[in-house]
Amino acid sequence: MRNARPETGGFFQRQRNWHPPAFAPGYKSTVVRSPQRAPVSFGNTLSEITGPVFGRAMLGELDNDLTLNYAKPGQSAIGPRIVVYGQVLDERARPVPNVLVEFWQANAGGRYRHKKDGYLAPLDPNFGGCGRTITDEDGNYSFLTIQPGAYPWPNGINDWRPAHIHFAIFGHGFVQRLITQMYFEGDPMIWQCPIVRTIPDKRAIETLIAVLDMEATVPMDARAYKFDIVLRGRRSTMFENKLEGN
Amino acid sequence: MAQSLTRLKETPSQTAGPYVHIGLTPNICEISGVYPEDLGTRMVDDKTKGERITVKMRVFDGTGSVIKDALIEIWQADADGLYNSPSEPRGKADPNFTGWGRQASDSETGVFTFETIKPGRVPFPDGRPQAPHISLWIVARGINLGLQTRMYFGDEEKANAEDPVLTRLEHQSRVPTLVAPRDGDTYTFDIHLQGEKETVFFDV
């Protein structure tokens, strides 16, 4: 741990047109779950700027290994083994350390371990589907998992989710909280998906597509996908002003 | 052409989906043994300072139906109005209070139950005290970007009447959507995503 002044600056205004709008009728579930009135804005107070800290001490040895963290002793999850890694940055392009990154996903057949998922693809007895880690001092994270499958879902009569991994990211302030999904480079299903298409800007969608990285691949073991994440940036405060500038 | 700002764009949000509990509260959806307990389950211990309260929340969709697949996280100050956070510049918060809670609702009733303490007052940037409040973050299937709002306390009429956020709402008739009535030690906060009683959400 480095000694550092606490960060107390407010966050940059969220660019809401870069995010999907609340009401996006192609994704039918949004229709009755979308607020219709304008959200109210005010300058950040400490209630927005502050947030909890999660220490590495809480992590279990297998928390970032979904191939093993639910598997019986001596067994592992079925599916293409992949490493997912990346860096958490803020909008000022600064690495964000000590970020809790949580992830969950379907198994290799596209089935979630959840009583409400009735897809006919089988459960994998050795795959639970959740994991977590905390970014290091340079904002880096990584985990080992199996590549999830695509699956059909009730929206239109033939809508399918592309293979994806859900991410929940906890930055340093409560209003930096972000939940999103990672997709895989080259998957033609991405552009068909009504949930993906809630995002209005193609360039924004492209930032959710992880890129295959053969150099980070573990030979004879697991391919690697890089997925960087950008959280809201915060203003620098007087405390942070350095002689060399910010 | 001018120089360019070296700024990145925030990663766009996607819905938490119907299976958010697999990732964030696996122990309540029969994925046990991965984590010893779900994060955010316990906010207080027997040494926590302050008045113990229970907060019960429900989320309603635009048809008036209770949503049963949402997840709510809350963040609040301790009894003295201090946040348990490195970004808290005013002093050290109660080490026996996390300030952060995460719950799934009961799968049958849709009720979220938080066991916490009543927070103290936190200043607005101009120094005026805000009324005691709890910040919320709500995610679910059909919610594309996590919803931010606040819960205020029904028995704090005086503080609420001078709160810098509540008093700036253009439509004062909507203030009650942010105020939870008290009954004994329990506050009940109903969140309406849409309709006549739509809760005030924030873009902050």
Which of A7, A14, A45 to mutate: most B Cβ within 10 Å? A45
Domains defined along chain A, listed by start: 51-229 (2.60.130.10)
Residues 6 or more apart whose CB falls under 8 angstroms from that of B72 comprise B57, B59, B102, B103, B105, B112, B136, B137, B138
Which residues on chain A are in Cβ contact (under 8 Å) with B150? 47
Sheet holding B112-117, edge to edge: B112-117, B52-60, B186-192, B182-183
- pLDDT at site A236: 80
List, for residues A89-127, the tens digit of each pLDDT value: 999 999 999 999 999 999 999 999 999 999 999 999 999
Distance of CA A159 to the CA centre of its chain: 22
Q: In the predicted model, what is the mean pLDDT of residues A168-189?
A: 97
Of A32, A51, A53, the CB nearest to B61: A32
Using a CB–CB cutoff of 8 Å, tell me whether A130 touches chain B: yes
pLDDT, residue A237, reads 64
**Angstroms from A218 CA to nearest CA on chain B:** 25
A5 is catalytic: no
Strand partners, B136: B74, B149
In the predicted structure, residue B4 carries a pLDDT above the cut 70? yes
CB-based contact A40:B202 (threshold 8 Å):
yes
A112 carries an active-site annotation = yes
pLDDT at position A241 is 45
- Report yes or no for ipTM above 0.90: yes
**Could you tell me the pTM of the whole model?**
0.96
Q: Report the residue from B122, B125, B204 with minimal CB separation from A41.
A: B204
pLDDT, tens only, B41-98: 999 999 999 999 999 999 999 999 999 999 999 999 999 999 999 999 999 999 999 9
Say how many CB pairs under 8 Å bridge A and B.
273
A195 near B CB under 8 A: yes
Please give the C-alpha separations between residue B161 and each of B130, B152, B157, in angstroms, as whole numbers: 10, 11, 6
pLDDT-derived band at A3, boundaries 50, 70, 90: low
Alpha helix positions (H), chain A: 46-49, 202-206
For residue A73, list chain B residues with Cβ-Cβ distance below 8 A.
none
Query: Domains plus CATH for chain B?
Result: 20-192 (2.60.130.10)
Out of A111, A132, A161, A234, pick the active-site residue: A161
What integer best gives the mean pLDDT of chain B? 97
A172 touches chain B (CB under 8 A): yes
Give the per-residue pLDDT at A5.
62
- Per-residue confidence band for A30, with pLDDT thresholds at 50, 70 and 90: very high
**Residue A74: per-residue pLDDT:** 97
pLDDT at position B68, please?
97
The average confidence (pLDDT) of chain A is 94
* Residue A36 and residue B194 in contact, taking contact as beta carbons nearer than 8 Å: yes
